[in-house]
Amino acid sequence: MKLRSLKDLNVSGRRVFLRVDFNVPMKDGKILDDTRVRAILPTLNAVLDRGGKPILASHLGRPKGPDPSQSLAPVAARLRELSGKNVIFPGKVLGPEVEAAIAGMKPGDVVLLENTRFEKGEKDDDPALAQKFRALADVYVNDAFGTAHRADASTHALAVLFTEKAAGLLMEKEVAALSAVTENPEKPFVAILGGAKISGKLEVVQALLPKADALLIGGGMANTFLKARGLAIGKSLVEDDLLGTAGEIMEKAKAMGKTLLLPEDGRIAKALPAEKAEVSDLTALSADAIIGDIGPKSEAAFAARIAGARTVFWNGPMGIFEQKPFAGGTMAVAKAMAECPGYTVVGGGESVAAMEQSGMAARIKHISTGGGASLEFIAGAVLPALEVLKA
């Protein structure tokens, strides 16, 4: 996928509507993780270095209208610290305060609008709201990969109205990194999938099956496959309505000559949350067993596949890694990913958190900042905010 590049956009002396993803985790007005703020600094600096006037816009949380508890004010303060720039925060999404702030911008100044979701039309991809945003700027840049799978007024309807537009550097990097997985990945290509459920990830499984040489399945998702194979899984999380689908996926993998690896052992408890777990093969589980994680044999088998891969994509923890007795499998995969010399990509909210928790995130080739967006991209879905930026 080729996107219009910021390098080809004339920003000098012009107002640049820069859609970013500042949807940071917050608690009591404090930013818990500023990764997303740091992530757009290269794009911001590129615009400023070339004499542009950046007008930043983002959503935060899910407010239904103006809501002071979901204000971007703390993000404005953090952006000021991180960028060292004069970040002007008019405290409104639109209106005279915003217009005055933009009109008064001096070279090097940055304006950050208030939370776009304070405007009702944002979630509805409202063209009327897009027209109002359009009046604020001369050119458009979107660096919000995390929301690229949504058609919102500021990510989609607005982009349609601009002729001069581009993807930001973060967006470009995400698309290039994920395209290396979806388009002609270097072989062997190993995909590791886990997490709680298959539902919501079926498209990802279906899209990866023809491309990957091996699919390693762990986490709660594996339980449904194991049960479809006829194994007793006790009280483990399972999606009974997807047993047929899991069976079909395994048939398809076999017909295509693909390896589909399921865990052979697990870490088992009798109740959740668990203080401790027992390692057991998955062939003879008792009726009250709960599979909370993959076991050491499975870890070794998965790690061996990862070690020999030229491309690896990982989404979904191998177990309930939030509980200590069940963190081992996920940490083992994280370690194998870190040690793999091939092209390694991790995507998904909890998976990225687990990778960070492992302390080995820096050794991964690409960690996607977009949870849902990265999965939809891998699944081959049309991402509305990317469609409007295609070259």
Backbone angles phi, psi at 217, to 5 degrees: -115, 125
Among 43, 298, 351, 368, binds ligand ADP (CB under 6 A): 351
185/347 with CB nearer Mg ion: 347
350 makes contact with Mg ion (CB under 5 A): yes
Question: Which of ligand ADP, Mg ion, none does residue 320 bind to, with CB < 5 to 8 Å depending on kind?
Answer: ligand ADP
Q: Which stretch binds ligand ADP (CB under 6 A): 50-58, 114-122, 312-320, 362-370?
A: 312-320
From the list ligand ADP, Mg ion, none, partner contacted by residue 168 (C-beta under 5 to 8 A by kind): none
**Structure tokens, 290:** 């709960």
Q: Is residue 370 within the footprint of ligand ADP (CB under 6 A)?
A: no
Single-letter amino acid code for the residue at 355? M
Residue tagged active-site, from 4, 19, 36, 305: 36
- Amino acid of residue 299: E
Tell me which of 61, 91, 247, 349 is the catalytic residue. Answer: 349
Q: Judge whether 349 counts as a catalytic residue.
A: yes
* 3-class secondary structure, 37: helix
Work out the burial of residue 216: count CB atoms within 10 Å of its CB; fewer than 13 is exposed, 13-18 middle, 19 or more buried: buried
Task: Write down the least CB distance from residue 89 to ligand ADP, Å.
Answer: 31
Q: Spot the catalytic one: 61, 91, 247, 372.
A: 372
- One of 42, 63, 247, 349 touching Mg ion (CB under 5 A): 349
| Cβ burial, residue 96 (10 Å; 0-12/13-18/19+) | exposed
The answer to whether residue 64 is catalytic is no
Q: Which is nearer to ligand ADP, 52 or 220 (CB)?
A: 220
322 burial type by CB count under 10 A (0-12 exposed, 13-18 middle, 19+ buried): middle
Secondary structure of 305-363 in the HEC alphabet?
A: HHHCCCEEEEECCCCCCCCHHHCHHHHHHHHHHHHCCCEEEECCHHHHHHHHHHCCHHH
Site string for ligand ADP, 161-200 (x = CB under 6 A): ---------------------------------xxx----
Q: Which tokens sit at 19?
A: 């859609």
Instruction: Identify whether the C-beta of residue 350 lies closer than 8 Å to the C-beta of residue 330.
Output: no
Amino acid at 223: N
Asked whether position 291 contacts ligand ADP by CB under 6 A, the answer is yes
* Residue 372 annotated in active site: yes
Residue range at the interface with Mg ion (CB under 5 A); choices 107-115, 144-152, 329-337, 345-353: 345-353
Residues annotated as catalytic are 36, 197, 349, 372
Chain residues that interact with ligand ADP, rule: CB under 6 A: 194-196, 219-220, 237, 291-292, 315-317, 319-320, 322, 348-351, 371
Chain residues that interact with Mg ion, rule: CB under 5 A: 349-350
